[in-house]
Structures are given as C-alpha cells and as structure tokens.
Amino acid sequence: MTLIRIEPAARLTGELTVPGDKSISHRAIMIGALARGKTTVNNFLASADCLATIDCLRKLGIRVEGRGTRVEIAGKGLTGLTKPAGPLYVGNSGTTIRLLSGILAGQNWPVEISGDDSIKKRPMGRVARPLREMGADIEGQGSRVKGQEEIYPPLKINGGNLKGINYLLPVASAQVKSAVLLAGLFAAGETSVTEKVASRDHTERMLAHFGAKISVQGPVARVQGKEEFDAADVEVPGDISSAAFFLVAGLIIPNSELRITNVGVNPTRTGIIDVLHRMGADLTVENERIDSEEPRADLTIRSSQLKAIKLDGAIIPRIIDEIPIIAVAATQAEGVTEIRGAKELRVKESDRLKTTAAELRKMGAQIEELPDGLRITGPTKLRGTMVESYGDHRIAMAAAVAGLIAEGDTVVNNTDCIETSFPGFEKLLKSLR
C-alpha cells in the first residue's frame, strides 16, 4: 500500500499539462477496434483503467501496439471481434465494463466480464435493461433494490441479432447512453437514445470522427446499425477532470498562478469552469480550438476569494466527477455551499458523498452529508491528519489538494488508485511549489 505525504504550500506557480482525457482515451481505442484499418491515438492516457480496456480488446482478437501515450489499433470492422478464451477482466474500470457490454451485446457468442471487488459492487441493471430490450441475454449477480431487480458483475452476456430501439434514459448517464449507442452499431435498423438532462457526449463525437452513421438533434442521438466505418487518427486533449485538482489548488493557495495547456473543454464537461467562475475564481480560457471533434483550450488560474453557491439540476451531470474537489474549494468559500441531485456519486469507486464528507471532516471541515449531496460551510481552517482514499482516485487526489492548505502534514493512505486516472500526480503536484 502506498501513501502520499503532503506539506502545506505557500504558493503554486508554473505551466503544466495533465494526462490525456480518460473518457476519450477509452472511446478512441474501443471505436478504433471496430473501425476498418489502423487508428493511431496520440496523448492516450496510459492509466490502469485504460490499460484494462486495451487488455480486453486484445483478448477479443484486436492487435493494439504502442508505448506510453501513443497507441496503434488494428481495427477489424464490426464483424472482426473473436470470442475470448476466458472471462474478460476490467480491473477497477466502470467505463470499460459498461461501454464494452454494449459492444459485447452485439456479438454472436457468449462471454463473461468482471472486475475487482469495487466493480462487483457497481450496479449494472441500468445497462442491462436497454441491452436486453435490444435482444441480448445478460445475467449477473442479482438482488432487489427498492422493489426493482438489480444485477452486479460478473456479467454473462450472450448477444447477437440485436434490433434497434428508441430508448429514453431514466437518469443522466453517459456510460449507459454509450453502451446503447455502441450496441446500436450492431443492431438492425436505427437506435436512438433520448436524454432528459445532457451528459457528456464523447461517444457521439468519436463516432462522428470515425465516420459512423450517427446524428444528434437536441437531446436525441441516433445511430444506424450494421454500417461499417473506417479508421481515423485521434488527438486526445488533457483531461479536465484531472485539471480540476490543479484549478482548485491554484485558487485556494495564496499568491498562486498556474497555466494548464491543451485541456479538453467539451461543453458537456466544462461545468467545473462554470462552477468556479460562479464562486468568484480568476480563471481564464484561452487559445480555444477543435481537433478530433473535441474542443480544447489553455486555462490560467489565479488565487481568488471564493463565495458559496448552490448546485443542483442540469449542472450536476457536467460536474459529477469533480464534486469531491469542488467540496474542497467550498471549505474555503464564504458562506454555505450546497450540492444536491448528486445521488449518482453513491455508486462510484466509493460512495463519494460519504467518503468526501468523512475525510474532509477529519481535517476540520464543516461538512454535512445529505441524501443526495453535501452541505459545506466555509471558510474553515483545515488541519493535517491521516486520511483514507477508500481505493478511490478522486477522493485521494481531493484529499491531497486539501492537504496543501492544511496546518501540518497530511498523509493520504492507499494512493495506488490514483494510477487509474492520473499517473504522475504526486510528482507534478510537488513540482509546482
């Protein structure tokens, strides 16, 4: 078990880049595997989660080569995957198991897919239900939650002979939407997904980049099944969810100024920028451009006096991964910050509402766990102590940033999990002092 020891920081300055976007990296190699020909992905996130996706694709007969941030995928088209010799293992990657389930639902052979202990606690009924409606047979470890059947990994998927459906997403989820759209590539006819609240749209953009038959009109995404598409090179931007930790660090540590280059600013992901602006952040967005269908820009953050805000409704899916670090910012904001409508956080790598509240409370924060959110009163002086990550990379990194403004040293336990999204986080954080 590894740990990070954080000392208080007087200031942070410098220019940095953050690793490639995790969501985009996953999708680039999955869709590249289904395209015809060689796809090259640059600035690929070589994290534990994305490497788990590569491992699964190799077991499905796809040749994936490369080192570090440059990866080549020899795509075989929609009919090129082959039955693996044994179960597929996704490690700790919820994105891998949910998106790959959509692809596996389109195959004419049975397969089992599972992951680590954390993955085995992640609900999969929300993915299984629409895929079953399309014609796939999906079984898992069952239980009932509030009278409704729920299933958990390992999943046994027996797919093929799918038909297109029109699916209304009950709860905003880019992973469920993506699983249905990816299954739709193999289905007869058209598959559509309608969202009540917009979630991240990387799958739609990536499919368009590869030339798949996809259209998006308002809240509805439509994909035409059984239409082949060709390989396309992908330039992955820096992950704004990773940049968020440094944006908040630069905000709450006095006399700081950080410039983060080549960060993805997809409108479905820039909720963190909107939230920090509302809190009073001196945050500028410059040099905006588009590559591989994805917008990107350079961000500059300076120390700022923050004020409390209320967060609820449509903003929540756009900040769902950033809420732990927003909570850290809220401990230094004047007034009461309230976050509601974020019950989805209870089924992440940890129950992030419970774990965020518990660990910040250890550090002296005035934070209350709500059924669907958090209530934080600030500003509060934090104190260094020993905190736990619960094997959750975002909890570990949020705690590390909190340690930068705490009195005394902070020790974050069990930080191996950071490798799932941000290799080199500790080294980069300490280089900016």
Could you write out the DSSP letters of every residue in 342-378? -GGGGGSSS-HHHHHHHHHHHTT-EEEEETTEEEEEE
**Residue 321 annotated in active site:** yes
Q: Which domains does the chain have, with CATH numbers?
A: 3-19+238-431 (3.65.10.10), 22-235 (3.65.10.10)
pLDDT of amino acid 47: 93
Between CA 109 and CA 118, with CA 114 as vertex, the angle to 5 degrees is 160
Question: pTM, whole model, 2 decimals?
Answer: 0.92
How big is the chain by its Cα radius of gyration, in Å? 21
Sort 128 into a burial class: Cβ within 10 Å, 0-12 / 13-18 / 19+.
buried
Structure tokens at 85: 């010799």
Structure tokens at 210: 């590869």
Residue 417: left if φ>0, alpha if ψ -120 to 50, beta else—which one?
alpha
51-76: per-residue pLDDT in tens?
A: 999 999 999 999 999 888 999 999 99
Q: How far apart are CA 371 and CA 346, in angstroms?
A: 10
pLDDT of amino acid 134: 98
Read off the amino acid at residue 286.
Answer: E
Read off the amino acid at residue 61.
Answer: G
Structure tokens at 37: 């020909």
pLDDT of amino acid 347: 86
Residue 398's nearest CA partner among 240, 239, 248, 238 is 248
Q: Which element (helix H / strand E) includes 336?
A: strand 333-339
Do residues 61 and 38 make contact, with C-beta atoms less than 8 angstroms apart? no
Paired sense of beta strands 333-339 and 310-311, if any = parallel
Do residues 387 and 410 make contact, with C-beta atoms less than 8 angstroms apart? yes
Residue with tokens 């699983």: 179
Q: How far apart are CA 204 and CA 222, in angstroms?
A: 9
- Can you list the residues of the chain whose pLDDT is less than 70? 1, 143-148
Catalytic residue among 21, 298, 321, 351: 321
